[in-house]
Each structure stands twice: as structure tokens, then as C-alpha cells.
Amino acid sequence: MTHSIDYHCDVLIIGSGAAGLSLALRLAAKHQVTVLSKGPVNEGSTLYAQGGIAAVFDETDSIESHIEDTLIAGDGLCDREAVSFIATNARRCVQWLIDNGVTFDKETRANGEKHYHLTREGGHSHRRILHSADATGRAVETTLVSQALSHPNIHIIERSNAVDLIVSDKIGLEGPRRVVGAWIWNRNREKVETCRAASVVLATGGAAKVYQYTTNPDVASGDGIAMAWRAGCRVANLEFNQFHPTCLFHPQARNFLLTEALRGEGAHLKRPDGTRFMPDFDARNELAPRDIVARAIDHEMKRLGADCMYLDISHQPADFVRSHFPTIYEKLLTLGFDLTKEPIPIVPAAHYTCGGVMVDQHGRTDLDGLYAIGEVSYTGLHGANRMASNSLLECLVYGWSAAEDIMQRLPQTAVVTALPAWDESRVDDSDERVVIQHNWHELRLFMWDYVGIVRTSKRLERALRRITTLQQEIDEYYAHFRISNNLLELRNLVQVAELMVRCAMARKESRGLHFTLDYPQQLAQALPTILQPEAI
């Protein structure tokens, strides 16, 4: 067997969003860190996050209230210990961001003092969302990227995919089973390289690209979940895919999000005839949790045979709207809409993966040396429905807690001196790339139709049959042809689609984001859905 190492480091972080970069910056003072980015380093869901970060900064608010709001939004399925851990450490982790140069909007109170401007979003009983206008994710990501690029101990590799994790027993190493690195598809060089690392961290984000309509960027293809599953890690709650209620309905901007903060500042949801409908569904009206709002929109669209519903904030002062939502206002103008004067057409779209790789309070997975943080992970925070602006917070808190654990364990970790090189001796270049494109579109379409906002057992069974057929085709293709970015993403998406459907089939009730016409009631006891890989 040929042995080689193209890269080596103390910690390999796969993903360059808020979770990955905050962890990298915390570790880099003492350790050599490599950050793998599938596209440009700043491309990912963090960059597009509009709303903000939830944390208790107001004297009338409390950590207990943040905990209770999260538990209610999670529809009985949150892990209270995890929720308490994250809410309790929220302020210190947001303060770390501020200390590192992220600026959040402030307002001047009547007494002349400046305080952070806190907005309110669905499910929150208080104003506790720190934000940077309506582009909070951009402020966080650009600041962290700038810090990481200038740090001597952080090495960033762009335009490169992790292919799979390298696990000790699979390459004949003795001792306890652990991760020792990863294979990397370097798209710049068009070759598979190896990276040796004492610890590997999955910070790859979610899997919303499995659906035809999504607010997520193209990189959100479930890579970390699929790689962890193939390496023997458990996953949980993948039936809970959050559909953001208000994605712009426009052919030139299919994944443009209209932040929940618009509803927090008084926007109404309306039918095509201009009447409001949320009061018919929930006492909290437009500020009900996202699962309820998305189902209400879906219900009205189907009932009326309408292509979309509408979001209207034109009754608020124009200056207020422009100053609070400048990015959205300018973007909509380029598409022919004036946010201050007219209702905006919207539809729900896949937005956030609430389940993922099972981890403990330090982000540790079932595989020694492997961590998962951010949207790729299942911590127990989100339960059956994520509450708005808890996601960036989870990234930051687990970036901190994982860093603490990694720094404690690294000195005791034995270093592997050699890794097997990637074997391409039995593969050819494909002349049938159209097969990948066809399978890609088929998967996303039937996941939208069969595993969407409203489900049935028959639809789920149909989806699983289609997935099984696709998996056979993709496995055969993967075995015989050289890899490509699209093949790697499709392989991972099909794997995650299978896990989503299996989780959905296992839940014989409707709860939060999982609504099935065959089991419309809730069970008395709320339990997570956990899938265990077969013996590796």
C-alpha cells in the first residue's frame, strides 16, 4: 500500500462557517489548524444569515425565559440540559464575537445611553436578538474570515471537498478505533489528497440542498452527516427539517430569504386578496414558531390553488423599514419590488436541518477524535423545531466548548506518521456526467414532494424506494469513475435523504416540523429518533 501525507495538522476543521472559524480561532493560539472550505472560504449558510443571534442582554429578560421559549418552540423534544447549557453560555460567547470585532446595532435610549438594539422573532417572549442590520451572518463571517486569514497557525484550503474520514481500524492501525485524518478532493489540482490530524471537526452545516426549494447556498449538501454515518456515528432527529416560511417567490432569486425579523417588526402575512390568515391558525399570529407558520402558508396555498402568499410591512414608516432592512430593501428593488410600498410574494423553503450527528456537550461524536459542531450536529437544542436565531448561537457555544475539550486532549493523542494514498488505479473518466445531473434533480424533486412540509406513510415509502434505486446507481458510479464535486455531493445527499426518510418513518406521531396525515396526534412521551449504523 502506498503511503503519503499531503497535509498534517493538530486539528482539521471541515467547514468554514461560524462554527468552524470560531473554533479555529480559539485553538490557533496553541495549535496548528487546517480549515477545509468547499468553495471560497466565506461561502456557506453563515454568510446569508439575516436575523441575528439570540442571547440575554436586556435587564428585563432572563436566561430562564430563553430556556423556556426554546423548550416551547421545540415542541417537547428539546434536551433541557443542552438548552440550559447553551442559553447560560450565550452571552459570554457573543461577547467573544464582539471582542473579536463583530459590531451589532445599537440604539440611544431616552436617558442618552447607548444599548444594543434587540429585535424579536418567532417563539421569543422578549427582544433578545442581537443583529447587524439585516445581514448579521455577513458581519460575523467576514470578521471571522479576516481574523483567520491573518493568523499564522491557521491554514485555509479553499475549493476542496472532504471525501471521507480516515479511521484507524480501516487502515490497519492497532489500538482504540479513532479518526486519524481525511481524504480531500482538491478541485484546483483535480486530485485526492490526504490530511493527517490528531482531531477532526465536522462543521459542514446542514443538508437543505436535498430539497428542490431551499434558502441555503449550494454547499449545504449534508456532507458531514453522511461522512460521520459512514464512519460509524449515530445520527438523530433528521425527520425535522425546518422550512423557513418566507422565501422570496421569484424565478431570479429562488433562495433569497426574507428574515423573520420583518414579522418581529410588524409585517403581516396575507392571502392574494390582501386578507391576513395567521390569526386563523395561532394566537401568536405571525410570531408563531416557524413550523406553524410554514404549515399555515402551505395550507392556504393548497386550499386556494395559489402559487404564493404575501408578506406586507408597507404599513410601517418607510424610513424605519429602509434603516432596519437595508439589504433586503435594496435586493428587492433590483427585482422590481418596493418593500415600503407593497406586499412581497413568498413561499416556504427548506432552511435548517434540526437533527444531525449525535454529540455530547463538547461536540464529541461516537468516534474518538471526531467532533461535530453547528448545524451538522444534534445537540438536543432544537428539538422538533428550531427557534429563530438559536442556530448561530449554537455554533458559537460549541465552538467554545469543543475548543476547551480538544486543547485538553491533544497532548495525549498519539500521532499517526503515515496514511494510505487514494487508490485510483481501477477507475476511469466518466463520459456520462448527465447521469449525475439527472439523479440530482430527481432526488431533490421527490424529497420536496414526498418528504416536505406535510407527509404520509405512503409518500415516505415511495421516497425510500426511489432512494434505494438511486443509491445503487451512485455506488456503482462511484466505484468505477473518478470523483467530481457533483458526484461527492450527490453521494452524500442521497445518504442523508435515506436517513431523513428512515427517521420520518420511525416517528408515529406529528410533532413540530414532522407533520404526517397518518398520525396527526402527538404521543404522550416525546423521544428523539436515533439511528445506529450497522457494525462497521
d(CA 335, CA 342): 13
d(CA 468, CA 465): 5
d(CA 528, CA 531): 10
**Residue from 290, 364, 491, 507 carrying the catalytic annotation:** 290
Q: Tell me if residue 23 falls in helix, strand or coil.
A: helix
CB neighbours of residue 62 within 10 Å: 15
Beta bridge partners of 241: 353
Check the CA dihedral 453-529-202-421 and report its sign.
Answer: negative
The HSE-up count of residue 184 (CA atoms within 13 Å, CB side) is: 31
Q: Which residue has the cell 418581529?
A: 264
CA distances from residue 464 to 99, 226, 510, 518 in whole angstroms, order as listed = 48, 16, 19, 17
d(CA 41, CA 38): 8
Any catalytic annotation for residue 290? yes
Q: What is the 3-state secondary structure (H, E, C) of 421-488?
A: CCCCCCCECCCCHHHHHHHHHHHHHHHHHHCCCCECHHHHHHHHHHHHHHHHHHHHHHHHECCCHHHH
Q: Which of 483, 11, 491, 416 is nearest to 203 (CA)?
A: 11
CB neighbours of residue 511 within 10 Å: 23
Question: What is the per-residue DSSP string for 320-348?
Answer: HHHHH-HHHHHHHHHTT--TTTS-EEEEE
Task: Give the residue numbers marked as catalytic.
Answer: 290
